[in-house]
Structure 1
Amino acid sequence: MSLLILVVDDEPDVELLFKQQFRHDLRAGRFVMEFAQSASSALERISDAADVTLILILSDVNMPGMSGLELLPKARSMRPDVPVILITAYGDQDTKRRAIECGAETLLTKPIDFIALRAEIDTQVGRAA
């Protein structure tokens, strides 16, 4: 069984950062990470995720086109079983409130606390096992 974490961010360096932070897990095959540079690409991947077990969606809030806050209810309606964590450089209370109201598991601020994120990923991997 292949466990998938989908990371949605329009910044190309995010992919490198995540692959670096989780390189041991990725090499060990504990889970796979795929990267979408837009919310519309992410929605396509979510709908095509029949070949893997999607366990977590991580999405930036501020992206051109559809924002992470706009992606959130669409992703949740397609896959209500999959938690969504939003990531933002602007962790103000209004954004956090809107994210939680729209169904986000939590809102992380940049720079990302990878220790907290790893704990959340470990939880999701454990639930899928």
Structure 2
Amino acid sequence: MVRPAVVRLLLLSLGLCSTVLAVLGLFVPLLPTVPLLLLAAACFARSSERFHNWLLDHPHLGPLVRGYLAGQGMPLRAKIRAISLLWLSIGISVLLLLTQLWLKMLLIGIALAVTVYLLRLPVCAAGEEV
């Protein structure tokens, strides 16, 4: 838990904003739900035990982050969706929106690194999928 009140307030605000965006991400395809919930969990862990417990115990949001935080990985469906949306958004950016070659290469490199990271995560057991 962080001590200075200003830092705690900033982390709490970032956690709340991340949670709101994650909930929107359940309905908007390009918003990454699980990474935003993981950011919220990290912010809440350092700012508010009450909000951290609320997030982990939430019936719909909690299962999305509990397995990851416990080292069990993520559901296969979430992995496939995350990688698909990652490459869709990076592909659109690289092919249609960007003109600088260095920026295109940077985005492709980031996408490759994130893809490798996600592929290396363990997959939750079938009963734990959400």
TM-score range, shorter chain: under 0.3
Tell me which protein shows more strand as a share of its residues: 1
TM-score relative to the length of structure 1: 0.27
Larger radius of gyration: 2
- Greater helix share, structure number: 2
Q: TM-score, normalised by structure 2?
A: 0.27
